[in-house]
Structures are given as C-alpha cells and as structure tokens.
Amino acid sequence: MNLDEVRVKINDINDKMLDLFKQRMVLSKDVADAKRSMGKAVYDAKREREILDKVTIDAGPEFDIYARRFFENLFSLSRTYQAEQLFHETEFSMAIKKAVESSPNLPPQRGSVACAGEFGCNTQIACDKLLPFSQILFVNDFKAVFSAVDQGLCQFGVLPIENSSNGSVKEVYDLLDQHDCYIVRGTRLWISHDLMAKKGIKLEDIHTIYSHPQALGQCQIFLNNLGANVKLEPYSNTAEAAKMVSESDDPGIAAVAPPQCAELYTLQTLAKNIQNSDNNYTRFICISKKLAIYPGSNKISIITSASHTPGGLSSLLTKFSNVGINLTKLESRPIQGHNFEFLFYLDLEASLFDEKVRALLSELHESQEKFRLLGNYPEN
C-alpha cells in the first residue's frame, strides 16, 4: 500500500474508534449511576487492574506497554466524565460553594496582618500592596506568622513563597501543610538587594555578611566573587540583618537587605543591585483562617498525594489535562516518617466558579489518600 492508501485505512479505524469511544463513555456514566444508586464506590481499582492485566497479555510483547497506557488514559477520561456528569454536593464542595457565595466582591483593603521581619523588609512592602490600610504585627519568623493567624491574633498573614531566581521557600510550603489556613490573595514584587554596612566602612573591611538564606542565594554570584575570606551567615530576615549590623560594635560585618534599609538603619550602601538577575521577582501570599474566594480568582493551590506506583503521578496530572487545566507549578516535599514518599503542591490556572473545576477537585478529595485545597485567589 502507498501512503495515501494507508491513511485511508487509518482514517477509517479512527472513525470506528471514535464511535466506540462515545458509546463507551455513555456506558461508563450508566455504570457509575448504577453503582451510586447501589451505594457502591464509582472507582473500582480491582476491576481496572484486572482489565489492564488482560489487555497487557492480549496485546502481546510488541504492544503490551502501549496498550496498557492507552487503557489507563481511557479509564482516566472515563472517571473525569463520570465525576462531571454525576457531580453531587459533598461537605467539601458545599464549603467551596459557601465561600464563593459569601465572599465580598472585592478583596479586603484593611485588617490586622502578621509579617515576619522588621520595618523595611520586602514582606512589609507586599503587605502594603495587598492590604494598604492594614495594621502590621512584626513577628520573628514564618512559623510565628501562621501561629498568629491560627490563634486569631491577626486576620491575615503575608509570606514569601517563591523567587524567580532562587526557587521555592520550602519552609512556607511545609507550614501550609501543617496549619489549617487558606491562601486568599497573591502578589509579585520586583526584588532588589544592596550590600550595606556602618558608615565609613569599606568593602575590603568586611569579613562577615548576614542575610536571609533566600537573599544570600539570590546574590550568590556577587557574594562568591568577594572571596573565601568573607563569611556568609544566614539570618532570620533581611531587614533584621540590617538592624543587627547597625546596632553591632563589629565594624567588619555587613548585611544584604532591601535598599530602603540603609536609610532606615543609618547604614551606607557598599554595592547596589547585587542580585544575580535583574529579573528577580518574589511571589507573596496572604493567608487567612477563613476560606474566601473573590471574583476574579484565577489561581488554585492544592496539596495532594499520588499513588506510589509506576505512573501514579502521571495519572494524577492527566486528570487536570483532561479538563483543560494548565499547571503552573509542581513542587514535591517528602512526607515525614515515610520511605521516599512525597506530597505534591500544585498551582493551577483555574477558578472554583467553574462547576467542572469544582467537580474535579471534589473527585480528587474523595479519591486521593490526601488532598487539601489551599485556596483559590487572585494574584497580581
């Protein structure tokens, strides 16, 4: 057969496959409907495994792995369709619906907010952008921000979560899993770092530089060029590092901090804009004890597990592509006490105002060993 003849045959097979696919999808809904009326779970892992094993054997060694993957994807599409067609309100979906209906049309502009650091830190700037009329409570660290929100000392907390140059703030991701808080807002800031010390001090006089580990990482190229004799020491916060330098009796120490800290803490700038890249942005999140979903919320963050089997993560991610959801972030964190098992943090371009999205997340809430909605929020 020539190429055109082969394509005619393939097109004929495609038409037959499409017709059979449509028939199968309708039947899969009927099966799910019958199971639900009988009080049985829609997802039957044992039956799927039996079919996959049979397909693998019947396909033969040349096509076994391809046939198995084909049917795995088919099952995934069927489950997504079933979840959409048979969607019914659960406690989880009702909580989402309540948040959508009860949240105000505009995000809040005022309130008490916890912020890790000192006056002049970048997180304070993020606080002022997100909640311009807020009252800021400065606390020692990220854990204290979550505690302040948990205990009702503050309505909100603002934290950095990701930097374009130095990656994720892993401690914040771990704290999101440990605390019952929700992300309700998000923003991005351009971040600039300066090296500053006491007035009258020269760069060659510096023996130790203090800053937050994220800031040190974002300025690694400049700092490494200072030589091995200059020691880099992590500090709890960039602005706190600047304040510590200003109050210290040691003239040989410096801080990497935001430019405004030089004036705030009476320091001189030894070098400006020392970050690795001018395209240096940090994402900040605003957390709250109460789930709120404002109109225009375009980003969803979730924590979930994936089955610890070959293709387990791929199967999870396929669920999102099945309904056209774009993933913008995938971060894994080890599960404490488990042998190389991980939780996955995902950011999705989606809105819970969309019923298809609510149906999918409700299905994941029921089917995954662990699933938690971190929030659906606007980010600007």
Mean pLDDT by 10 residues, the chain (380 residues): 91 96 92 81 83 95 94 88 76 88 89 94 95 94 96 96 90 93 96 96 95 94 94 94 96 96 96 94 96 93 84 84 91 77 91 89 86 93
- CA distance readout (Å), 269 to 123, 199, 214, 339: 21, 8, 20, 48
**CB distance 267 to 255 below 8 Å:** yes
For domain 104-191+280-288, the CATH architecture is: 3-Layer(aba) Sandwich (3.40)
For position 106, what pLDDT does the model report? 86
Phi and psi angles of residue 47, each rounded to the nearest 5 degrees, phi first: -65, -40
194-271: CATH topology is D-Maltodextrin-Binding Protein; domain 2 (3.40.190)
pLDDT at 337: 66
Per DSSP, helices labelled H in 248-371 are: 260-264, 312-322, 355-367
Instruction: Kindly state the tokens that stand for 64.
Output: 């076994």
For residues 66 and 292, what is the distance between their CA atoms, to the nearest angstrom?
Answer: 44
- In angstroms, rounded to a whole number, what is the distance separating the alpha carbons of residues 73 and 56? 14
Domain assignments of the chain as residue spans, ordered by start: 12-86, 104-191+280-288, 194-271, 297-380
Task: Provide the pLDDT for residue 26.
Answer: 92
Active site residue ranges: 282, 284
What pLDDT score does 81 carry? 84
Q: Which residue has the tokens 């979903």?
A: 293
Q: Quick check: do 104-191+280-288 and 194-271 share a fold?
A: yes
45-59 and 64-85 helices, crossing angle to 10°:
150
Nearest to 111 by CA among 146, 158, 151, 150: 158
Please say whether the beta carbons of 220 and 243 come within 8 A.
no
Instruction: Name every residue whose Cβ is closer than 8 Å to that of residue 339 and which is 6 or more positions away in sequence.
Output: none
Lateral strand order in the sheet of 299-305? 326-334, 342-349, 299-305, 371-377
CATH of 297-380, one of 3.30.70.260, 3.40.50.2300, 3.40.30.10, 3.40.1190.20: 3.30.70.260
Fold for the domain defined by 12-86: Chorismate Mutase Domain, subunit A (1.20.59)
Q: What pLDDT does 121 receive?
A: 93
pLDDT of residue 31: 87
Q: Are 211 and 241 in contact (CB under 8 A)?
A: yes
Please, which residues bridge with residue 256 across strands? 195
The confidence score (pLDDT) of residue 262 equals: 96
DSSP 10-66: HHHHHHHHHHHHHHHHHHHHHHHHHHHHTT--S--HHHHHHHHHHHHHHH-TTTHHH
Token pair belonging to 70: 């084909």
Query: Which tokens sit at 241?
Result: 């590092």
3 state SS of 110: strand
At 338 the pLDDT is 66
